[in-house]
Structure 1
Amino acid sequence: MASSPIMAGSAAPSLPAHWRDFVALTKPRVMTLVVYTGLAGLLAAPGSIHPVLAFTAILCIALGAGGAAALNQWCEADLDAKMKRTANRPLPAGRMDRQSALHFGVGISVFSVILLGTATNWLAAAILAVSILFYILIYTIWLKPRTAQNIVIGGAAGAFPPVIGWAAVTGDVSALPVALFMLTFFWTPPHFWALALFVKTDYAAAGIPMLPVVSGEVVTRRQIWFYTAVMAVAAMAPVLLRLTGVFYGTVALIGTAIFALFAFQVYRRRENDPARMAPERRLFKYSILYLFLLFGAVVVDRWIFA
């Protein structure tokens, strides 16, 4: 059985943490997609916002995501130490003490919420706070160590940024940001399980009940295909509901068709050789590009073709 996610698993560092370790705590690669989807929600929103306030809103989304990532690593230091792809993170590698990571994560999370509320409005700040708490309390501490469906429910945490960006401009939440939330929500399982298929030995070593570990590869591939179909409906919803125009619809149709092709290639594979995971790696990499394309298309559609 995996140890508690809030127990330390790393050696005490002998030197003060380097600033690069604090940056690493924020998971910059993950933050890039979070910031991008938040920016898309902000730019797609009707009305206007002062450029300084727009920059502040996006900064707060970035800080909130970074704070949540730092707290995630604080919770999972012992688990990260058991996995090859995470063993060199600041806490399991012993380059930072847990208290510093905790203070850093809480500090920038609280600061991001207060600054966003002061600079824009408190609805946007409240949604940001919910996203941070959801990621830490619901996904990291509750779901991830207990159920193979952790990423299905927990994926909601990463779907909030476009809603936050929209709310920062408008002070409300309407149909389009909800549609973008649902797109990201249903995109998360096939995106994440494609990764989990070729790093499942890491999750098994750490005792984390990810779907490939608990239910096997065949079930995981079937679930990837199922959620791709649901995601396809969510991807086309904005144009079908006339929230966006033909440009977005065209990009979404072509992009989703390619996604479905890659997902089908993953679904039909029955080999268990971890050295031959080309379809899984291709789907994982394309899934990131896919979300960039669709969110970019939303902005272009509303700015140029509206």
Structure 2
Amino acid sequence: MNSTHKTASTNIFDLGKYPTNFINIESKTCCSFNHKVSPFSPPKPLLICSPTQAGDFPVLVLLHGYLLCNSFYSQLIHHIASHGFIVVAPQLYTVAGPDTQGEIEATAKIIDWLSEGLAHFLPPQVNPDLKKLGLAGHSRGGKVAFAVASRRSNPMTIEVSAVIGIDPVDGMDKGSQTPPPVLTYSPRSFDLGGAGALVIGSGLGEVKRNPLFPPCAPKGVNHEDFYNECRKPAYYFVAKDQGHLDMLDDDTKGIRGKATFCLCKNGKCREPMRRFVGGAVVAFLKGYVEGDTSELVKLREGHYEMLPVVLQRVEYIV
């Protein structure tokens, strides 16, 4: 465990009051020589960030984007956890084709594992409150989050109270969605079992970085389409002048990490989008897993004087 400390703040866009630990957990399929796997090991490797202070804390499962590493989200994960949440970020795959069915099934298994396995890896007297569970995903992970929450083919034993799409994407264009498709292009068609929905979009996601590559969040399969299919309660924020990968860590290492600076149209720096996403997720989770909508109302009504980003769209149905 690596302990992380911070200055206490009541501002959702700053780090919160809780000191946290990062925890890496190998999966049951780990095959390293002489590596001992716990009988409580999860179906996929996990990166967890947990408060270290004793208490009962809501849980957020965060799904990574296409061909990305869960570790690329460590600063965002830390931000959310520091406000009193246990964040569980699986590594769903290292190499993947176009079909997301395996990711959908793996995520459902991870959520079911939480009740039997998660507590065994947390700091002493830190308890996961699985009656307060959120599910979030970035890019392709956002598509998977909505697919899992709609339970089209993946019954789970734990109810999800909040579903969050962070610049979600369902394929390269409307005519070639990533199978199985999630978007139906029928307004308010998502059945999330009463869970609240939050969709965060990037203003630059649908803009090409160069002629050789398509935009990372193409119009017709992006955040706007996901929000249009959400039933109430649902919230929608689009950050102007911010890119599809701007919520990742400032320094993403390795070949994949370097590529995150090259493939998508980016903003000037990542910190503003990352702080906004972290704060918006915290406000939404407080509202829909903890029952305190005060921060969410402030955000939707424009009562924050110093937002990290400029918002070009704010919509909601409640």
Of Structure 1 and Structure 2, which has the larger fraction of its residues in strand? Answer: 2
Structure number with greater CO (CA < 8 Å, separation at least 6) is 1
What is the TM-score normalised by the length of structure 1? Answer: 0.30
Of Structure 1 and Structure 2, which has the larger fraction of its residues in helix? Answer: 1
**Larger-Rg structure:** 1
